[in-house]
Homo-oligomer: A and B are copies of this chain.
Amino acid sequence: MKKLSRRNFLLNTGIAASTATAAVAIPSLFFTNDQKYTGRKLNIALCGLGRYASILADGFAYSEYCKLAGIITGTPAKAETWKKQYHIPDANIYNYQDFDNIANNKDIDLVYIVLPNSMHKEYTIRAAKGGKHVICEKPMALNAADCEEMITACKNAGVQLAIGYRLHYEPYNLELKRLGQEKVFGQVRLIEASLGYRTTDPGEWRLKKALAGGGPLMNVGIYCVQSSRYVSGEEPTSVTAQFGPVTDNKLFNEVEASIMWQLDFPGGLVSNCTSTYACGVDRFFASADYGQFELSPGISYGPFKGKTSNGELKFPDINQQAAQMDGIGKLILENKPLPSHIAGEEGLKDMKVIDAIYKAAATGERIMLA
């Protein structure tokens, strides 16, 4: 990866002042002229050691403000492996029974919930009651009502709650947000956002309704809801949705194989999205009055490719997980409140849209949101 100074990065990429302010979230490891942070790191415990926890664990190597300090797992063998690999002290290793003892552990600042969706609420609330800040992976919970409980619990406990939206710290997506919200090509009229991959393992927890709450929409389609919202800078007023065909009866007997939905926004934009477990797709496209901008790939873990009506987009390929943890971690270390677009409020907003999408798909009706 090419190293460049923060100053050159901003000049080269044409990030406007408004976005540059948010660039605190872009880890300074890309900016060799900057002084590197040498203060105390935020000690994070990962709760749930599945596939994505491993990706996060790798991200700590690139993190400036955060340290992998603890783990919570129900599988003793995993505890053993992780303990060795990441040098986790025994005192910072918990299972789901003794997890609440974390309240007495001054060595853990924040619990990062990476459990199956159905467990997000319980473990966020338990972590908050233990006095720990929380990052909860998306989707925040199974429905909007659960999100509200989680927000209240964290507020009452006096801890901060962030949702694991890695793309709020990703340069290509920050540029999408700028192009849309600053109306660089005029009012955006159409967004097409699609994310999916082919699932073949019937044992995957993401296919179980009780654990996942839903199919590809809950898991990856949520990013299409997110990008539609942050590119428009608006909240949708109504939604229609359709389930796609059941492509495999054995795999998709609890959650949808694919789903399409259309979000109407107040400014005269419609966003037509697709999310699927039947095949691969990873694309964001926006068309405005006087031009277009798109990424493909642009929603997964990168590297991304993008262009606008003015030419190719070129930004550094970053470690999304490190950038996200550092963006959140730095603010918490500084005792600053998290901005609402990365806090629990944001997860709640997405979940309200997702609740409406599922209701629209199930009933065939247009669901009003505003």
Interface stretch (choices A146-154, A156-164, A258-266): A258-266
Known: A190-B196, A279-B287. 16 other contacts (CB 8 A): A189-B258, A189-B278, A192-B274, A240-B240, A240-B242, A242-B366, A245-B265, A245-B269, A258-B270, A276-B287, A279-B288, A279-B292, A280-B287, A280-B292, A283-B285, A364-B366
Across the interface, A190 reaches (CB within 8 A) one of B190, B240, B269, B278, namely B278
Known: A192-B192, A196-B287. A247 touches B276 (CB 8 A): no
Known: A280-B287, A288-B279. A194 touches B192 (CB 8 A): yes
Q: Which of A244-284 contact B (CB under 8 A)?
A: 244-247, 258, 260, 262, 264-265, 268-270, 272, 274, 276, 278-281, 283
How does the 8 Å CB contact mask read for A165-195 relative to B, with 1 for contact and 0 for none?
Answer: 0000000000000000000000001101010
Known: A189-B247, A268-B245, A276-B189. A285 touches B281 (CB 8 A): yes
Q: Which of A126-162 contact B (CB under 8 A)?
A: none
Determine the distance from Cα of A292 to Cα of B276 in the docked complex, in whole angstroms: 14
Q: Which 4 A-B pairs have the closest CB atoms?
A: A279-B287, A189-B279, A244-B270, A189-B278
Q: Which of A14-38 contact B (CB under 8 A)?
A: none
Determine the distance from Cα of A278 to Cα of B245 in the docked complex, in whole angstroms: 30
Does A234 sit within 8 A of B, measured CB to CB? no
Residues of B within 8 A of A265 (CB): 245
B190 touches A276 (CB 8 A): yes
The interface size of chain A toward B, counting residues with CB under 8 Å, comes to 36
Tell me how far the C-beta of A282 lies from the nearest C-beta in chain B, rounded to whole angstroms: 10
Residues of B within 8 A of A264 (CB): 244-245
Determine the distance from Cα of A292 to Cα of B296 in the docked complex, in whole angstroms: 12
Residues of B within 8 A of A192 (CB): 192, 194, 274, 281
Tell me how far the C-beta of A196 lies from the nearest C-beta in chain B, rounded to whole angstroms: 7
Determine the distance from Cα of A272 to Cα of B280 in the docked complex, in whole angstroms: 15
Residues of B within 8 A of A268 (CB): 245-247, 278
B274 touches A281 (CB 8 A): no
Closest B residue, CB atoms, query A194: B192
A292 touches B281 (CB 8 A): yes
Residues of B within 8 A of A189 (CB): 247, 258, 276, 278-279
Residues of B within 8 A of A262 (CB): 242, 244, 260
Does A365 sit within 8 A of B, measured CB to CB? yes
Does A289 sit within 8 A of B, measured CB to CB? yes
Closest B residue, CB atoms, query A247: B268
Determine the distance from Cα of A194 to Cα of B194 in the docked complex, in whole angstroms: 13
Tell me how far the C-beta of A111 lies from the nearest C-beta in chain B, rounded to whole angstroms: 37
Determine the distance from Cα of A283 to Cα of B272 in the docked complex, in whole angstroms: 14
Closest B residue, CB atoms, query A259: B270
15 chain-A/chain-B pairs, Cβ below 8 angstroms: A190-B281, A192-B194, A192-B274, A196-B287, A198-B289, A244-B262, A244-B270, A245-B269, A245-B270, A246-B268, A260-B272, A276-B287, A279-B287, A281-B292, A364-B366
